[in-house]
Chains A and B, each alone.
Chain A
Amino acid sequence: MGIGVKVKVWGDFALFSRPEMKVERCTYDVMTPSSARGILEAIYWHPGLRWIIDRIYVNKPIQFTSVRRNEVKSKVSANNALSVYNGGEKPLFMSSKEEIVQRASLILRDVEYVIEAHFEMTDKANEGDNPGKFKDIMMRRLRKGECYHMPYFGCREFPANFCLCEEEIVTAYEAVEEKDLGFMLYDMDYSDPENIQPMFFRAVMKRGVLDLRDCEVVR
């Protein structure tokens, strides 16, 4: 079809949080498809297209490290903000001394992946849009290093460098026939905005490649 891209991404750290271990964050062994989609969307996205991840190549051995940080445990209260906005006399800030909590994160270090993906047109595309146009824009951005915002590996403090992958891909697990990574998050289902549901799949890495075409998605 000619609308597929291969993007090489790399960085010092990565944190693809497991939803079951979110308080003290713990990363998945490899990048999730939803995170890969997020990276592509950071480079180029338009309502008229939807990125679909085909394969994820794991180019560096999986290594972990851990970081414990002081974090705040609460979010900005929108209720509070609204009442101040409407003229309410309230203090509007968060005290990091009161709301502090120490949390560890188990993160990946020194990662490199190749994301193989293609896009599908959606009905939100404008009349003049066509796959060739979108493809050209994406390729130009990859070649020139342009991006909407800097892509990142799971969390914004772990920036992801990116470039178009034109060389032959050698994964770090060529010798490993099959490695079962268990159930992993596939993506979130946003079809009903009031009830966003996670989707999972059984991740099996074959010779360092996570193949996501025709994978069974469990809700």
Chain B
Amino acid sequence: MSEVIKNRYEFVILFDVENGNPNGDPDAGNMPRIDPESGYGLVTDVCLKRKIRNYVETVKEDAEDAAGYRIYIKEDVPLNRSDNEAYEYLGVNDKTIKDLKKKDPKADEKIRDFMCSNFYDIRTFGAVMTTFVKAALNCGQVRGPVQLGFARSIDPIISQEVTITRVAITTEKDAENKSTEMGRKSIVPYALYRAEGYISANLARKVTGFSEDDLELLWEAIINMFELDHSAARGKMAVRELIVFKHSKELGDCPAYKLFDAVEVKRKEGVEFPRKYQDYTVEIHEDAIPQTVEMTRKI
């Protein structure tokens, strides 16, 4: 394992969607998420985290160092986890678990470190592990160093309802009456989204051990997060820009909002209906970034 990260980071991700639905809203019949008051499109933090997890799981599946890059929260395979089973395995029950804690006062920390060293997503985003809380054996809420906010579109979006037909009918009975079935999907003709994230070196050092290698993998995962996620619903999605701010210290050199404000994304003049990435300009005001902060455009 390489060294734990020693710098605070902030990053801006710009990604776009063409004729697809980046993130459906379960409250609105799976239409793209929209802030109802302003019309801006939203993509939740957890949506992007899912993509990052999926990417890491896929690339590390058969890798030599796969052991340290497992993913805890997976999309497949049911799992029966029963506390009692674990109790049996340990030869303890509700009462004797207290003794275990007495015998090994570091038990909770050990489990926590074990989980962090094995699971990339726990090391990165954290996880809640509190089932031992009864005996105050609490391996706790691991706060991961990487924190993501909601992504928001640069301009208000229009969601378009597309009605489609299919010729195969599901039930025999329906087949007697009709020859096609109607379905619908919602798409965004085009939208550019901006997400912002933070990485705390302190949490990495004190708790999860998120390392320089992990960081490189995170950048790789962000850049490629939509490449392995093509589907009928998503349309054409791509990460267009990953701008990373590296502070010179663990605590950072300047407020995060100043760095984010330095990245200005605008629709080009004369473009009324943006339909491609080239309709936008990305300008970085380098004079607003302190000298000690290192800025890199990863794409």
Interface residues of A (CB under 8 A from B): 12-13, 63, 65-72, 74-86, 88, 91-98, 102, 104, 109, 141, 144-150, 152, 156-159, 161-163, 193-194
Instruction: State the 9 A-B residue pairs at the shortest beta-carbon distance, nearest first.
Output: A145-B255, A79-B86, A149-B200, A146-B251, A76-B129, A150-B198, A157-B45, A68-B27, A161-B257
How far apart are the CA atoms of A148 and B204 in the complex, in Å? 11
> Chain A at the B interface: mostly helix, strand, loop or mixed?
mixed
How far apart are the CA atoms of A97 and B79 in the complex, in Å? 10
Q: Which residues of A contact B114 (CB under 8 A)?
A: 81, 84-85
Cβ-defined partner of A85 (8 Å) among B76, B110, B137: B110
B288 contacts partner chain A, Cβ-Cβ < 8 Å: no
Given contacts A83-B90, A145-B254, contact A157 B74 (CB under 8 A): no
Given contacts A91-B77, A93-B72, A94-B72, contact A146 B131 (CB under 8 A): no
Q: Which residues of A contact B71 (CB under 8 A)?
A: 93
Q: Which residues of A contact B249 (CB under 8 A)?
A: 146
B68 contacts partner chain A, Cβ-Cβ < 8 Å: no
- Is B76 within 8 A of A80, CB to CB? no
- Is A93 within 8 A of B73, CB to CB? yes
Given contacts A65-B35, A88-B89, A152-B147, contact A76 B76 (CB under 8 A): no
Interface residues of B (CB under 8 A from A): 25-27, 33, 35-37, 42, 44-46, 50, 70-79, 81, 83, 86-87, 89-90, 107-108, 110-111, 114-115, 118, 122, 127-132, 136-137, 139, 143, 145, 147-150, 152, 196, 198, 200, 202-203, 249, 251-258
Name the residue in A68, A76, A150, A194 with the highest tally of chain B Cβ atoms < 10 Å from its Cβ: A76
- Is A81 within 8 A of B79, CB to CB? no
Q: Which residues of A contact B70 (CB under 8 A)?
A: 92-93
Closest Cβ–Cβ distance, residue A181 to chain B (whole Å): 23
Given contacts A12-B150, A70-B46, A91-B79, contact A81 B253 (CB under 8 A): no
- Is B115 within 8 A of A96, CB to CB? no
Please list 22 pairs of residues, one from A and one from B, whose beta carbons are closer than 8 Å in the complex, sorted by A's number. A65-B36, A68-B27, A83-B86, A83-B90, A92-B70, A93-B71, A93-B72, A93-B73, A94-B79, A96-B73, A96-B75, A97-B76, A98-B78, A144-B254, A146-B251, A157-B46, A157-B150, A158-B149, A159-B147, A159-B149, A161-B255, A194-B136
**Residue of B at shortest CB range from A149?**
B200
Cβ-defined partner of A76 (8 Å) among B42, B72, B110, B253: B72
**Residue of A at shortest CB range from B138?**
A78
Cβ-defined partner of B147 (8 Å) among A70, A104, A149: A149
- Is B251 within 8 A of A141, CB to CB? yes
Q: Which residues of A contact B254 (CB under 8 A)?
A: 144-145
Q: Which residues of B contact A98 (CB under 8 A)?
A: 78-79
Cβ-defined partner of B252 (8 Å) among A69, A147, A161, A193: A147
Q: Which residues of B contact A145 (CB under 8 A)?
A: 252-258
Q: Which residues of A contact B129 (CB under 8 A)?
A: 75-78, 81
Given contacts A76-B127, A149-B200, contact A95 B83 (CB under 8 A): no
- Is B256 within 8 A of A96, CB to CB? no
Closest Cβ–Cβ distance, residue B87 to chain A (whole Å): 7
- Is B79 within 8 A of A65, CB to CB? no
Q: Given contacts A81-B114, A81-B129, could you give 8 more A-B pairs where the C-beta distance is less than 8 Å?
A: A77-B81, A93-B74, A96-B50, A102-B26, A144-B254, A145-B258, A150-B200, A161-B255
Given contacts A67-B44, A78-B129, A78-B131, contact A93 B79 (CB under 8 A): yes
How far apart are the CA atoms of A152 and B256 in the complex, in Å? 12
Given contacts A96-B75, A157-B46, contact A149 B253 (CB under 8 A): no
**Residue of A at shortest CB range from B121?**
A93
- Is B150 within 8 A of A78, CB to CB? no
Q: Which residues of B contact A70 (CB under 8 A)?
A: 26, 46
- Is A81 within 8 A of B115, CB to CB? yes
**Residue of A at shortest CB range from B125?**
A156
